[in-house]
Structure 1
Amino acid sequence: MENGNNNAVALQNTHVKLLAFDLLSLTQFPFRSPDAATSFLRRGIPISRVETLGTITLLHLKPDRLLRFAIDDGTGCVPCVLWLNNANSPSVVRRRRHELAARFVEVVKFGAVARVRGRLSRYKGGVQVTVSDVVTERDPNAEIFHRLDCIRLARNCYNLLPSPSLRG
């Protein structure tokens, strides 16, 4: 594989730091992929997981089902979903995920600044983040550092185009 393509492959299963305007502008592969998590592109580079940071501006809890919320970083609002319905699963992994999700519900408060990690998914024609991790940020500089990181990473890592065979 060529050197320029190494970044594309390396980003596929990495939590890519993106600002909301960039995340919301991701395109979907023109074909239906069996693995929906890898069906998004940023300038031709496949992306499946993201990290974003901002203020929680929308909150909708359906007890024992899901928590929907939005993260606003000043460039847009990223819709997020946290699934809560794995409590009775026979899978130990799913039950542990449910316990974590229950703790995350306590963290997600309207107006709090939070860092969210998760995989990309599609809902009603738009991009959303299916949350795997959420933490409240207490550092007053976290938002500006996140924004600077996103700009630096976009310039130095994410804007390197892969070969035409990987482009959508």
Structure 2
Amino acid sequence: MQNPVYNSYVKLLAFDLLSLTQTPSSSSSSVSEPTFSRRGIPLSRAETLGTVTLRDHKPHKFLRFLIDDGTASVPCILWLNHMTSPYLARRRRPDDLRLIADSSARFAAEVRVGVVARVRGRIGCYNGKVQLTVSDVVVERDPNAEILHWLDCINLARNCYNVLPGLGPGPDPGLPPSSTRKENLAE
């Protein structure tokens, strides 16, 4: 059975995202993409939210920036070379490339130092460090967005991401500490 969170944008705090374990892919192709896992659960995409603290823009090539959520800073890269890339030209229709390039240019214009942004992207690795290859950027205007993101991340980590497949969420907090999950299942 395929992992239900593998192709989903998993909400993670920066320290959690940067501590993902990298494992080589078991793909049969000559160029295998590394996979990342959190507590043994493979992940491919993530969402984070924080303040843009660094911005390095190379026009028509890329925008590199850092998102700091208070726990760490996540390196992000937004590619802007869609119209000049021979790789993409062979794999996409020109109309699709134009739409993607326009979206990327719009995202790049919104990313400024000091703004609070929600970033979604593919988890990748560059120079041995985890980074997000950006697919979507939304500048947050709600002052509560950061704390709500933190609460979402904590809630999802406790009730979804930390759950081992097939075992459920662990011991019931209302039970005495001496009880184990196996004893609860036997009852």
User: TM-score, normalising length from structure 1?
Assistant: 0.87
The question of whether the paired residues in 2 share the 8 Å contact of 1:44 and 1:162 is answered with no
The question of whether the paired residues in 2 share the 8 Å contact of 1:113 and 1:136 is answered with yes
Unpaired segments ≥5 residues, structure 1: 2-7, 164-168
How do 1:149-164 residues align onto structure 2 when only pairs under 5 Å count? Answer: 149-162=152-165
User: Is 1:57 the equivalent of 2:53?
Assistant: yes
- Look up the equivalent residue of 1:70 and give its one-letter code: L
How do 1:1-168 residues align onto structure 2 when only pairs under 5 Å count? Answer: 9-31=3-25, 33=27, 36=33, 39-88=35-84, 89=89, 91-162=94-165
Q: Provide the C-alpha distance between the structure 2 equivalents of 1:32 and 1:100, rounded to a whole number of angstroms.
A: 33
Unpaired segments ≥5 residues, structure 2: 167-187
Rg (Cα) greater in structure: 2
Number of aligned residues: 156
Question: How far has the Cα of 1:160 moved from its partner?
Answer: 1.5
Q: Which runs of 4+ in 1 moved over 6 A?
A: none
Q: Provide the C-alpha distance between the structure 2 equivalents of 1:106 and 1:30, rounded to a whole number of angstroms.
A: 35
The question of whether the paired residues in 2 share the 8 Å contact of 1:26 and 1:41 is answered with yes
SS in structure 2 of the partner of residue 60 of structure 1: strand
Q: Provide the C-alpha distance between the structure 2 equivalents of 1:85 and 1:134, rounded to a whole number of angstroms.
A: 17
SS in structure 2 of the partner of residue 152 of structure 1: helix
When residues 111 and 32 of structure 1 are mapped into structure 2, their CA distance, relative to the original with a 3 A threshold, is farther
Question: How far has the Cα of 1:92 moved from its partner?
Answer: 2.6
The question of whether the paired residues in 2 share the 8 Å contact of 1:115 and 1:134 is answered with yes
CA deviations 1:72-114 (Å, max 9, x no partner) are 0000000000000012445332221111000001110100000
